[in-house]
């Protein structure tokens, strides 16, 4: 009987995702590494093998800002794995300028929230069939102070890269709490990694990267430290059965007051489901 556990980690080719993958590989998990760049995927795979000796690694190429691409990713994962113990939604980004994807979504919203929503809901069946399975969503304390302008979901009125990012992290929490409230077969938790020097800005040039570098120097959390709660929530026996919580440094903390507004949980869920169906039903 094969007792090896399977985990899928998005954004696993660098930063917090890669650090989490290394640590979780040491625990003997088979890991599905999700990333945009196959070359970076190959490098990450070799690094994990060299550091851990675990070669049970699968790379999935996906553009997580595309709903159809995320749907395809989910289908590949379901084909590859007969069971799924953990989904670690880690990938995210921030765009200096307003970008509307080919599917008509503002890119930060598409990558940071719709990606989580679509991949999770598409894999929920597989996760539900696996005893003790978990969903872990990387959010951020950047959500604190944010409110959601429902008439500006796709930057119809205005766009601020930082505001868009913060709002997307608030949505991550509302999605986490809503899913945890209706799901009893899979535990669902979120976390704040801290201010970490990662590649969150992608290829957006030096402006955002300088802000991230500056912030990381002040708050000084390494990528490995930033991955601590991701690893803990994904693998620790201490949180078996725990659901609907928000963590920092492996301890439960409170998120902003508005994040607990159940009416908005339902509203965000409905908006995401409508976008998902509309885009996936397009010819």
Q: Does residue 126 form part of some domain?
A: yes
Check whether 202 has a pLDDT greater than 80.
Answer: no
Read off the pLDDT of residues 6-65 as tens digits, 9 standing for 90 and up.
Answer: 999 999 999 999 999 999 999 999 999 999 999 999 999 999 999 999 999 999 999 999
Read off the pLDDT of residues 182-194 as tens digits, 9 standing for 90 and up.
Answer: 999 999 999 999 8
Check whether 209 has a pLDDT greater than 80.
Answer: no
Provide the domain limits for residue 242: 6-280
Question: Residue 198's pLDDT is what?
Answer: 52
Read off the pLDDT of residues 95-115 as tens digits, 9 standing for 90 and up.
Answer: 999 999 999 999 999 999 999
* pLDDT level of residue 1 (50, 70, 90 thresholds): very low
Question: Residue 222's pLDDT is what?
Answer: 74
Note the pTM of the prediction, 2 decimals. Answer: 0.91
Mean pLDDT lowest for which of 222-226, 229-233, 255-259?
222-226
Q: Does residue 77 form part of some domain?
A: yes
Dist CA 117 CA 121 (whole Å): 6
Check whether 204 has a pLDDT greater than 70.
Answer: no
CATH number reported for the structural domain that contains residue 163 in this entry: 3.40.50.720
Dist CA 6 CA 170 (whole Å): 28
- In terms of Cβ atoms closer than 10 Å to its own Cβ (0-12, 13-18, 19+), residue 249 is middle
Q: ∠145-146-147 over CA atoms, to 5°?
A: 125
Q: What percent of the chain has pLDDT over 70?
A: 90
Q: Does residue 63 form part of some domain?
A: yes
Q: What is the largest CA-CA distance in the chain?
A: 56
Question: Residue 199's pLDDT is what?
Answer: 52
Check whether 218 has a pLDDT greater than 50.
Answer: no
Q: Does residue 1 form part of some domain?
A: no
Q: Does residue 154 form part of some domain?
A: yes
Adjacency order of strands within the sheet including 246-248: 57-61, 30-35, 6-10, 86-89, 134-138, 187-191, 246-248, 251-253
The number of folded domains in the chain is: 1
Dist CA 193 CA 226 (whole Å): 5
Q: What is the mean pLDDT of the chain?
A: 92
Whether residue 249 contacts residue 228, with contact meaning beta carbons closer than 8 Å, is answered with yes
Check whether 223 has a pLDDT greater than 80.
Answer: no
Read off the pLDDT of residues 105-146 as tens digits, 9 standing for 90 and up.
Answer: 999 999 999 999 999 999 999 999 999 999 999 999 999 999
Q: Does residue 137 form part of some domain?
A: yes
Closest CA to 170 of 196, 198, 150: 150
């Amino acid at each position: 009987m094969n007792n090896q556990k399977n985990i899928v980690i998005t954004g696993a080719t660098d930063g917090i995702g890669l650090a989490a993958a290394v640590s979780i590989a040491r625990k003997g998990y088979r890991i599905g590494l999700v990333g945009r760049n196959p070359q970076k995927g190959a490098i990450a795979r070799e690094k994990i093998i060299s550091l851990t000796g675990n070669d049970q690694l699968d790379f999935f190429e996906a553009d997580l800002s595309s709903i159809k691409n995320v749907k395809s990713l989910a289908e590949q994962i379901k084909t590859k794995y007969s069971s799924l113990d953990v989904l670690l939604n880690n990938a995210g980004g921030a765009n200096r300028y307003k970008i509307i994807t080919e599917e008509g979504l503002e890119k930060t919203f598409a990558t940071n929230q719709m990606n989580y929503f679509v991949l999770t809901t598409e894999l929920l069946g597989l996760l539900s069939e696996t005893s003790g399975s978990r969903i872990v969503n990387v959010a951020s304390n950047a959500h604190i102070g944010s409110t959601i302008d429902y008439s500006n979901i796709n930057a119809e009125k205005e766009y601020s890269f930082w505001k868009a990012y913060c709002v997307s992290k608030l949505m991550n929490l509302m999605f986490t709490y809503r899913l945890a409230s209706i799901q009893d077969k899979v535990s669902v938790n979120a976390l704040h990694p801290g201010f970490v020097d990662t590649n969150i800005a992608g290829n957006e040039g030096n402006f955002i990267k300088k802000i991230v570098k500056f912030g990381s120097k002040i708050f000084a959390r390494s990528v490995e430290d930033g991955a601590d709660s991701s690893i803990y929530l994904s693998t620790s026996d201490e949180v078996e059965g725990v659901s609907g919580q928000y963590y920092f440094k492996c301890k439960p903390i409170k998120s902003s007051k508005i994040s607990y507004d159940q009416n908005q949980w339902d509203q965000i869920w409905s908006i995401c489901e409508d976008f998902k169906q509309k885009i996936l039903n397009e010819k």
